Structure 1
Amino acid sequence: MSETPASTVPPAPPQGSLKSLILVLGACGFASTFTMRLLDPLVPTLAAEFTRSIAQVAAVATAFAFAYAVGQPFLGPIADSIGKLRTIAVCLGALALLSLAAGFAGSFEMLTGVRTVAGIAAGGVIPVAMAAIGDRAPMAERQIMLGRFLVLMIVGQMVGAACSGLIAEHLGWRYVFVMAGAIAGIAGMLVVLVLKPRPNASRPPLSFKTALTSYAAVFANPRSKLLYGLVVVEGSLIFGMPPYIAAILHERADVGPSQAGLVIAGTGLGGIIYGVLTRILVERLGPTRMTTLGGIVMGFAYALFSLAFLPWWSAVAIFTLSGFGFFLMHGTFQAQATELAPTARGSAVALFACALFCGHALGPVLMGAALHLFGTSSAILIFAAGIAVLGVLAPRILPLAGSRT
C-alpha cells in the first residue's frame, strides 16, 4: 500500500518542502548509482587482478542487477508498510557496509557474493525514492520532479564511472569501494537528519496478505503487464553494453580504466541534459514523441559506436547522445509507473524496478553471446536496431498517459 490514501489526491506540499525532498533523495540516488556503475570501468583491471575472463567479471554486474530485481517484490511492500524514508535510510546503511566489505574482498568469489547482496540493498533506494516523490507530486508535475531527481542521481552515475577509473589507476581498485561506502553512509544520514515522514500517511501493517493485496491492485490495471514487459526489453537492450565498454575500448585503442570511465560517464551527461530540459520536452513533445525519439537517438548512437575506426574519445560524445535518448524513453516509462496503482505506489514502482533490472541482468548475457557469435561491430548494430524498434513500437503497444497526438 502507499502512503497516499486511496480516496483523495494529496495536496501539493510547499515548494520548499518538495525542494528539500528532491535534493536529499537526489543525494540518495547519487549514492546508489555511484555504487551501481563503478564496476564497469574496472572490468579489465579486475580480470587481471583475479585471473578471470572479461565475461566472468562482467557477470558480476549481472549478479548485482539480478539481486536488485529479486529484492523488489519484497522491498516494495516493506516500504509501503514501514515508510519509504525509513526504508531508504536502512538500505543506504547496508549498502555502505557492503561496499566497504567489497573493498576488502580477498577473492573473486567473495567480491561476487558481496556485490550480489549489495544489489538487494541498492534496490531499496531509487525505486522507493521515486515512489516517495510520486506520493507528494501531482501527476501534472511528476515527470518534471522525477527529471530533477534524475539529474542528481545521474551525477552519481557519472562520478562513479569517471572516478572509479581514476582512483583505480592511482590508488587501487579497493579504494573505489571504500569511497562508495562513505558516500552511501553520508546519504543515509541526510535522510535521517533532514527528511521527516508525513504524519498523516496511511501505512498498513506488513504481512504476506497485505503484499498480495498490493500486487493485486497493481495488476488490476491492464497497463501494468504491458509497461513491465516493455521495461524488461528496454533494460536488456540498454544495459547489455556498459560492462563491455572498457574491454571494447581497450581492444580498439588500448585505453585504460580512467578513459573508459569518462566514456561511460558520458551517459550521465546525456541524462543531465535531459533533466535540465525535462519541462520543455514534456510540454512540447509529450510522452509518445519522447519515447519514439529516445529509441531512435539511442539506436543512432549505438550505430556510431559500432564504427571501430572512430577515435576512442569520440565515444564520450556518442554515449552522451545515448544517455539523452535513454532518459527520453525511460523517464517517460518511470512517470507512467508511478500512476499504475496510486493506492500501492511503492509496490508498483518496485515491480517496475524489478522488470528493469531483470532486463539489466539479462542484457550482459545477451551482449556477451552476440559478441561471441557475430563480433563486436555486428553485435552493437543488432542492439542498436533493437533499441530503435522499441522506441517506435512502445507507444503503439502501450498508449502513454498524457501523450500529445
Structure 2
Amino acid sequence: MSEPAQAAGDDLRLLIPVLGLCGFASTFTMRLVDPLVPTLAHEFGQSVHQIAFLVTAFSGCYALGQPFLGPIADSVGKLRSIATCLAALCLLSALAAFATSFWVLLALRAAGGVMAGGVIPAAMAAIGDRAPMAERQIMLGRFLVIMIVGQMAGATFSGLLADHIGWRAVLGAASVLAGGAALLVRLALKPRPDAARARLSLAGAIASYRAVFANPRSKLLYLLVMLEGALVFGVPPFVAAILHERSGVGASEAGLAIGAMGLGGLLYGTLTRVLVERIGPRQMMRLGGLAMALGYFAFALPGPWWTAIGIFLMTGFGFFLLHGTFQAQATELAPTARGSAMALFACFFFMGHATGPLMTGTLLQFAGTQLALIVLGVGIGVLGLVTPRLLPPLGSRS
C-alpha cells in the first residue's frame, strides 16, 4: 500500500471514533431533558406540557441554525466548525446548570440547540467526503454506534443523576463532555489538505443550496425525514409522565425506558453491514416502519413499567433501520455541497423533532394515551411502507 493511501486509511480509522465522540456529546445534551420533565415541572412550578417545550426549543433552534451552519462548515472546514460548536455548547450547558428560572433555562437550551446542530450533520458530511458510496452507510453505521451510546446515556444517566444528585449535575456532565470532545477534535484530526472550499458569502451559500435542490430527490427526502422526526420524537418527552401515571415510577425508570431506544440504535450500528448486504435498504425501511408501529401499539397497552424498556429498544432499532437509509441518501444529494445538504437534512428532521411534542401533546390531551399512541403507530408504519416506493434508495434491490 502506498504512503498516501496508508495515511488516508489511518485517518479514516481515527475519524470514526473521534467524530463518534462528538456525536456522543451532542446527543447526550439533546436527550437529557426527556426523563427530567416531571422533575423540572416541580422545580420551576410549570406544567408537564410547558416543560416539554424545552425539547421543542432545543430541537427547533437545532433546525433553524442549519441553513447557516451548513455553508459555514463547507467554507471554514467541517472539523473546525465542529470544534467551535462543541466549545460553545460546553459553555452554554455550564450556564444552564446554574439557571434559576424556567425562562433562563429555556433560552440557554435554545442557544444550545443551535450549537449542537453544528456537530452531527457536519460529522456525517465529513465521513461522506472520505468514504466511497459503497461503504458509506456502513461507515455511518459505525459512527452511529458511538453517537447512539450518547443518546442512550443522555436519557438513562440524566434520570439516574437527577434522582441521586440533582438535575443540575446532568447539565454539568454535558458541559464536560462537549468541552472534551472539542479539544479532542483539535488535537487528533487534521483537515484535508487538498479540500476545495468556497469563500463564505451569501452568494456562495445560495449557490450551495441551489446545487442541493437541483437534485429532484431532495425535496421529497427532506419532507419524509421531517415527518419521521415528528412521529418518532414526539413521544419521549411524555414517557416519564405516562409511566408515572401508570406505575408511579420516577425519572430513573423513565430514563432507562427512553435510553433503550439507544440500545436499539446500538444493535443497528453493529449489524449495519449484515443488514445492508443481506436485506438491502428498501426492506430495511419497510421493517423499520413496522417495528416502530408495533412498539407504539405495545406501549399503548398498560403494563409494568419495565416492559417499556423492551418496547423502546424495538422502537429504536426500527427508527435507525429507516433513518440510517435516509442519512445515506442525504450524503449523495449534492457531493459538491455536502455540508449544506446534510445541514438541510438535519434542519428538516429537527423541524419534525420540534413539532412532534406539540403534536403528541395535543393528541394526548384530546384523544387519550392509548388512541394517541395508536394513531402515531399507524402513521410511522405507513411511512415505512410507502417510502421505498416514493424514494427508492439508489442502487438497491427491492
Give the shorter-chain TM-score range.
over 0.9
- Aligned to 1:36, the other structure's residue is in SS state helix
> What are the Cα deviations for residues 307-359 of structure 1, in whole angstroms up to 9, with x where unaligned?
01x11001001100000000000000000000000000000000000010000
> What are the Cα deviations for residues 130-150 of structure 1, in whole angstroms up to 9, with x where unaligned?
000000000000000000000
1:206 maps to 2:208: no
Aligned amino acid, residue 245 of structure 1? V
Give the Cα–Cα distance (whole angstroms) in 2 for the partners of residues 208 and 14 of structure 1: 33
Q: Pick one of 220, 223, 235 that aligns with 1:241.
A: 235
Give the Cα–Cα distance (whole angstroms) in 1 for the partners of residues 7 and 372 of structure 2: 48
Give the Cα–Cα distance (whole angstroms) in 2 for the partners of residues 30 and 399 of structure 1: 30
> What are the Cα deviations for residues 57-77 of structure 1, in whole angstroms up to 9, with x where unaligned?
001100100000000000000
Equivalent residue, structure 2, for 1:399: 392
- Aligned to 2:52, the other structure's residue is in SS state helix
Q: By how many angstroms is 1:12 displaced?
A: 9.6
Equivalent residue, structure 2, for 1:375: 368
Give the Cα–Cα distance (whole angstroms) in 2 for the partners of residues 114 and 182 of structure 1: 16
Aligned CA-pair RMSD: 1.1
Q: What is the number of equivalent residue pairs in this alignment? A: 395
Q: Pick one of 362, 378, 383 that aligns with 1:385.
A: 378
1:91 maps to 2:108: no
1:286–1:402 Cα contact (<8 Å) kept: no
% identical equivalent positions: 63
1:342 maps to 2:335: yes
Aligned amino acid, residue 90 of structure 2? A
> What are the Cα deviations for residues 192-238 of structure 1, in whole angstroms up to 9, with x where unaligned?
00000011100111000000000000000000001001001000100
1:118 maps to 2:112: yes
Aligned amino acid, residue 114 of structure 2? I
Give the Cα–Cα distance (whole angstroms) in 2 for the partners of residues 179 and 55 of structure 1: 26
Equivalent residue, structure 2, for 1:360: 353
1:13–1:136 Cα contact (<8 Å) kept: no
Give the Cα–Cα distance (whole angstroms) in 1 for the partners of residues 7 and 374 of structure 2: 46
Gaps in structure 1 of 5+ consecutive residues? 1-9
Paired residues for 1:170-185 under 5 Å:
170-185=164-179
TM-score normalised by the chain length of structure 1: 0.96
Give the Cα–Cα distance (whole angstroms) in 2 for the partners of residues 162 and 402 of structure 1: 38
1:312 maps to 2:305: yes
1:75 maps to 2:75: no
Aligned amino acid, residue 110 of structure 1? V
- Aligned to 2:15, the other structure's residue is in SS state helix
> What are the Cα deviations for residues 258-308 of structure 1, in whole angstroms up to 9, with x where unaligned?
111000110000000000000000001111111011000100011000001
Aligned amino acid, residue 373 of structure 1? F
Give the Cα–Cα distance (whole angstroms) in 1 for the partners of residues 323 and 54 of structure 2: 24
Give the Cα–Cα distance (whole angstroms) in 1 for the partners of residues 7 and 241 of structure 2: 47
Q: By how many angstroms is 1:402 displaced?
A: 2.4
Q: Pick one of 255, 262, 265 that aligns with 2:249.
A: 255
Give the Cα–Cα distance (whole angstroms) in 2 for the partners of residues 296 and 370 of structure 1: 21
Q: Pick one of 142, 146, 150 that aligns with 2:140.
A: 146
Aligned amino acid, residue 22 of structure 1? I
Give the Cα–Cα distance (whole angstroms) in 1 for the partners of residues 112 and 16 of structure 2: 24
- Aligned to 1:202, the other structure's residue is in SS state coil
1:65–1:358 Cα contact (<8 Å) kept: yes
Give the Cα–Cα distance (whole angstroms) in 2 for the partners of residues 274 and 192 of structure 1: 29
Q: By how many angstroms is 1:403 displaced?
A: 1.6
Give the Cα–Cα distance (whole angstroms) in 2 for the partners of residues 302 and 12 of structure 1: 47
Give the Cα–Cα distance (whole angstroms) in 2 for the partners of residues 137 and 105 of structure 1: 42
Equivalent residue, structure 1, for 2:265: 271
Equivalent residue, structure 1, for 2:212: 218
Aligned amino acid, residue 387 of structure 1? I
1:33 maps to 2:34: no
Equivalent residue, structure 1, for 2:286: 292
Equivalent residue, structure 1, for 2:318: 325
- Aligned to 1:87, the other structure's residue is in SS state helix
> Which shows bigger deviation, 102-111 or 395-404?
395-404
